[in-house]
Chains A and B, each alone.
Chain A
Amino acid sequence: MNTLPYFVLIPLAGAFLVVFLNVLTRNKVRVISEILANVITLALFIMTIFMFNKSGMYVIGKWVPPLGINLVLDGLSGLMLSIVNLIAFTATLFSINYMRRYTANNYYYALFLLMLAGMNGVLLSGDFFNLFVFIEIASIASYALVGFGTEADELEASFKYMVMGGIASTFILLAIALLYSQFGVLNMAYISEAIANSEFNILLKFTLFLFIAAFSVKAAIIPFHAWLPDAHPAAPAPISAMLSGVVIKTLGLYAMIRVMYNIFGFNGGNMLAYMGLISIMVGGLLALGQMDMKRLLAYSSISQIGYIILGIGLGTKLGILAALFHLVNHSVFKSLLFMNSGSVYHRLGTRNLDEMGGLNKVMPITGGTSLIASLSISGMPPFNGFFSKLLIIIACIQSGHTIFAFWAIAGSIFTLAYYMKMQRYAFFGSLKESYKSIKESPFFMSVSMIILAILCLATSFLLIPQLRDAVLTPAVEVILNADTYKALVIK
C-alpha cells in the first residue's frame, strides 16, 4: 500500500513542475507541459491497473489512526480511481491539439493536474478534513478551468459555479465541524463506529442533511443543478469531458455514497430513488429543447446521473451493481460525446446544431465515434449503456417498484430522442457548401476519441461473471456492508 500517496503526490508535484519548467524556458516550449501532463496521467492510469482489486490503508508519518492522516483504498475507491485516471489520460491526450487555440497552456495543464490530484485525494482520503481539503482543491481548479476562456459566457458560468460550489463547500465544513463537536475525532472509520454505537439524534440528522444537500450540489442532482448546464458547456472540451465524466461523480456521488452508506449507515429509504427519478425526467425534458450541442450534453448528464442515483437509492445488491456499472459507462460515453463536440467546435467554430449538418462526410471519425456514443447512451445493444440501463430497470422491478421501472424506460426513450436529434442535426443530412473543405480532427484528438469508442464496446464485457466479480462486486460489497470499510482502518 506504499504507492497510495503517489496518486496525490505525482499530479500535485507535476502541477508545480509544469509552471516551473515553463518559467525556466520562458514560455517558448509548449511541448514540455504537454508531454509532462500526458506522461503523468498515463503513469497514474498504469498505476491504477496494478492497484486493481487490492485494498488496504496507508498511514502518513506513522501516526496511527484516529490521530493521524490515513489513506484508504477499497473496492469502491479502486474502481473510481481507475476510471478517473483513464478519463484524465484521454482528456490530456485530447488537449494536445485542442488547447492550441488558447494561450497560457502551462496554466491549463497545471490546473488540470491540480484537479486530478484533488480527485485522487477525495477517493483515497480516510478522514473528513482531508476529504474537505481535497474537494476544495478539485473544485477551485475546476472553477478556474471553467472560466479559462475568459470570455463573457465563461466568466458568468464560472462565477455561478463558484458561488454554488462555494456554498456547498461551506456546508460540508459546517457538517464536519458538527461531527467533530460530537465525537472528537475526524477519522471516517472511527466516526462510523461511533455513530453506530450512539443514538441517531437531531444533531446527527441535521449533519446528514447538510452532507446530502452539499454533495447533491456537487453532483448536480435536481433541484441543485442550476450551475451545471452553464459551467459544463463553457469549459474547454477536454475539461467538459472531465467535469461531466468524472468530477461530478467523484466530488458528488462518491462522497455522498461514502458518507451515507459507510459512515452514517443510512440508506435513505427511497429518497435517493425519487431524487433520481426527478433528475431523469427533468434533465431529459430540458435536454430535448436545446439547440446548443454542449448544453444538450450537459442536461443529458443530469438525466444520466439520475439513473445512477436511482440504482443506488434502491439499495438492493443488483441495483447498486447496475448503478456502479452505469457510472463507469457514463464516464466513458459522456466524455466521448463532449470530445466529439469539442472536435466539431475545433473545426467549425460553432456549437449551434442549426449551423451544422452532414458532418459525417467530412469528419468520419468524429461522426462514427459520436454515433457509437449516442447509441450507447440511449441504450442500444450491444453497447454498454444497454446493459446498465437494463440492469437498473430489472433491479427496479425486482425490488417491487414497477412504477420506477416505467419512468426509467420513459427517460430512456427521451434519451434516444434527443440523441437522435443531435445526430440528425449535426452528422447526418446535407453538408453546407461552406463546410466542404473541413478536415477531420487532428491526430491526437482522433486517437483519444477512438480509444473511448472502443471502451464503449469493451465495458459491456464487465458483465461476464468473472470480470464482474473482479471489478464491480468488491465495490458493491463496500457499499452494502459498512464493516468492510471499518475493518480496513480499525485493527
Chain B
Amino acid sequence: MIYILCLILFFIGLYGIFCKKNLIKIVLGFIIMENAVNLFLILLGYKNNGIAPIMTKSMRLDEFLASSVDPLPQALVLTSIVIGLAVTALMVAVAIRIYERFGTFDITEIKRLKG
C-alpha cells in the first residue's frame, strides 16, 4: 500500500517536470520525484517495531537480526539526499541566472536553441 503511495508521489514529480511551464515548478517536481525514490529506499529497510541497528552485548545475534531495521538503505539515502541537494542547488542557481538573462521563468519564452 505504502509503496503505491510512493509510486504516486514519483509520478506527481514526473508530471511536474513534463507539464509545468515555470522553471521553479520544474525544479520542485524534480525534488518531489527524488524524495519519492528516497522514501522508497528507506521503506525497503523498514520493519514494524524495529530497533536501531546497533548491537549491544546483551543481544543475541539471531534476535538482533530479526528485530533490527536494515541499516544499508539508510546509508544510501543519506548519500542520495546529499547528491540531490547538489543537483537542486545547481538547478536553482542556473534558474536564477536564466531569470537574469531572459527576464522570465516561462520555458515557452526561453527557446533560443532549436533545430
CA gap between A472 and B55 in the complex, in Å: 50
B59 to chain A, nearest CB (A): 20
- Chain B residue at smallest Cβ distance from A162: B91
Cβ of B83 and Cβ of A159 under 8 Å apart?
no
Cβ of A167 and Cβ of B33 under 8 Å apart?
yes
Partner of B90, one of A143, A170, A186: A143
Q: Is A458 positioned at the interface, with any CB of B under 8 Å from its CB?
A: no
Contacts of B101 in A (CB 8 A): 151-152, 155
Cβ of B83 and Cβ of A162 under 8 Å apart?
no
Contacts of B98 in A (CB 8 A): 152, 155-156, 159
Contacts of A170 in B (CB 8 A): 33-34, 37
Residues of A at under 8 Å CB distance from B? 129, 132-133, 136, 140, 143-144, 147, 150-153, 155-160, 162-163, 166-167, 169-170, 173-174, 177, 180-181, 186, 229-230, 234, 289-290, 292, 295
A1 to chain B, nearest CB (A): 25
Contacts of B115 in A (CB 8 A): 229, 289-290, 292, 295
3 A-B pairs with least C-beta separation? A152-B101, A230-B113, A177-B41
B91 to chain A, nearest CB (A): 6
Instruction: State which residues 39-95 of B face A: CB under 8 Å.
Output: 40-41, 44, 72-73, 76, 79-80, 83, 86-87, 90-91, 94-95
**Which of A133, A163, A292 has the most chain B CB within a 10 Å cutoff?**
A163
- Chain B residue at smallest Cβ distance from A158: B94
CA gap between A295 and B95 in the complex, in Å: 24
**New A-B pairs, 10, CB < 8 Å, besides A162-B94, A229-B115:** A152-B98, A155-B98, A157-B113, A162-B91, A169-B87, A170-B33, A177-B41, A180-B41, A186-B72, A229-B113
- Chain B residue at smallest Cβ distance from A290: B115
CA gap between A153 and B26 in the complex, in Å: 19
CA gap between A186 and B79 in the complex, in Å: 15
CA gap between A384 and B34 in the complex, in Å: 43
B75 to chain A, nearest CB (A): 9
B10 to chain A, nearest CB (A): 7
Cβ of A140 and Cβ of B87 under 8 Å apart?
yes
CA gap between A295 and B113 in the complex, in Å: 10
Q: How large is the interface on B (under 10, 10 to 19, 20 to 34, 35 or more residues)?
A: 20 to 34
5 A-B interface contacts by CB (under 8 A): A155-B94, A160-B113, A163-B30, A166-B30, A174-B37
Asked whether A153 and B76 contact (CB < 8 A) given A144-B90, A159-B98, A180-B44, the answer is no
Cβ of A163 and Cβ of B17 under 8 Å apart?
yes
Asked whether A156 and B112 contact (CB < 8 A) given A151-B101, A162-B94, A166-B87, the answer is yes
**Which of A151, A159, A181, A289 has the most chain B CB within a 10 Å cutoff?**
A159
Asked whether A156 and B41 contact (CB < 8 A) given A133-B79, A174-B10, the answer is no
B61 to chain A, nearest CB (A): 16
Contacts of A289 in B (CB 8 A): 115
Partner of A136, one of B17, B72, B83, B102: B83
- Chain B residue at smallest Cβ distance from A137: B83
CA gap between A236 and B79 in the complex, in Å: 30
Q: Is B8 positioned at the interface, with any CB of A under 8 Å from its CB?
A: no
**Which of B83, B87, B101, B113 has the most chain A CB within a 10 Å cutoff?**
B113
A206 to chain B, nearest CB (A): 11
Asked whether A174 and B79 contact (CB < 8 A) given A156-B98, A156-B110, the answer is no
Contacts of A153 in B (CB 8 A): 112-113
CA gap between A181 and B73 in the complex, in Å: 10
Contacts of B73 in A (CB 8 A): 177, 180
Partner of B97, one of A140, A143, A155: A155
CA gap between A150 and B97 in the complex, in Å: 8
CA gap between A150 and B90 in the complex, in Å: 13
**Which of A156, A170, A234 has the most chain B CB within a 10 Å cutoff?**
A170
- Chain A residue at smallest Cβ distance from B76: A129
Contacts of B86 in A (CB 8 A): 136, 140
A229 to chain B, nearest CB (A): 8
A188 to chain B, nearest CB (A): 15
Query: Quick one: CB contact mask for B4-48 with A, threshold 8 Å, 1 for yes?
Result: 000000100010010000010010001001100100110010000
- Chain B residue at smallest Cβ distance from A139: B87
B70 to chain A, nearest CB (A): 8
Contacts of B14 in A (CB 8 A): 167
- Chain A residue at smallest Cβ distance from B111: A156
Asked whether A152 and B112 contact (CB < 8 A) given A140-B86, A166-B87, the answer is yes
Partner of A167, one of B17, B72, B95, B111: B17
CA gap between A174 and B14 in the complex, in Å: 13
Contacts of B87 in A (CB 8 A): 136, 140, 143, 162, 166, 169
B23 to chain A, nearest CB (A): 7
Asked whether A163 and B26 contact (CB < 8 A) given A136-B83, A155-B94, A290-B115, the answer is yes
Contacts of B26 in A (CB 8 A): 163
- Chain A residue at smallest Cβ distance from B91: A162
CA gap between A356 and B40 in the complex, in Å: 54
Cβ of A159 and Cβ of B91 under 8 Å apart?
yes
Cβ of B37 and Cβ of A162 under 8 Å apart?
no
CA gap between A151 and B101 in the complex, in Å: 8
Contacts of A136 in B (CB 8 A): 83, 86-87
